[in-house]
Structure 1
Amino acid sequence: MMHTEMTVGELINFLSDCDRSAPVRQAMNPFFPMAHRLEQAVESTDQDGQRVVYLAEGRDADTQLGHLPPEVAVLLAWQSPVQPPPRRPRRRASGK
């Protein structure tokens, strides 16, 4: 199975359209989506000698911010949009 990876150029192109004062967070674990603060970015090489940029969360206890907002999980296609259950007619006191 071939994996597609975002390149630094694609990330820069995306970020160039974003609010420059917005914090950067990392969405992790599609089965239990959580948000994390990013603290560092480092460039290195992987086991095949390819240059890779790693984004890392911080070490502080409050680095994990909690659950990812549901609308973000939907945009990432990690969850399906949730519809409210259909309303049922209320029962009357007479039992009908």
Structure 2
Amino acid sequence: MTHKEMTVGELIDFLSGCDRSAPVRQAMNPFFPMAHRLEQVVPFTDKEGQMVVYLAEGRDAETQLGHLPPEVAVLLAWQSPVQPPPRRPRRRAGGN
């Protein structure tokens, strides 16, 4: 199974429509979604001679920001939207 990789051009096209002052974060691990700060962009030429750009998180303790907001996990299709359980009428002390 081959996966289509996003290109630098596609990333630039997407980011060009965003607020330039917005922080960039990375969502990681769909089974335990966490948010991370990006610190580095590293271009690299792989063994086939293809340029690959890596986005890397920092090394300090504040790089991992905590759990990804559930709404973002839903938008990424990592989680299903969760509906609150239906409310049932409260039981009374007399059994009714």
Fold match, TM over 0.5?
yes
Deviation, structure 1 residue 69: 0.5
Deviation, structure 1 residue 46: 2.4
Deviation, structure 1 residue 47: 3.5
**Percent identity for Structure 1 against Structure 2:** 86
User: TM-score, normalized by length of structure 1?
Assistant: 0.95
Q: Which residue of 2 aligns with 1:30?
A: 30
Mark the runs of 5 or more structure 2 residues left unpaired by the alignment: none
Q: Which residue of 1 aligns with 2:93?
A: 93
Aligned equivalents of 2:46 and 2:59: distance in 1? 23
Aligned equivalents of 1:48 and 1:86: distance in 2? 56
Mark the runs of 5 or more structure 1 residues left unpaired by the alignment: none
Deviation, structure 1 residue 49: 2.4
User: TM-score, normalized by length of structure 2?
Assistant: 0.95
Q: Which residue of 1 aligns with 2:76?
A: 76
CA RMSD in angstroms, aligned pairs only: 0.9
Deviation per CA, 1:31-70, whole angstroms, max 9, x where unpaired? 0000000001011122332210000001111100000000
Runs of 4+ in structure 1 deviating by more than 3 angstroms, as ranges, are: none
2:61 aligned partner, one-letter code: A
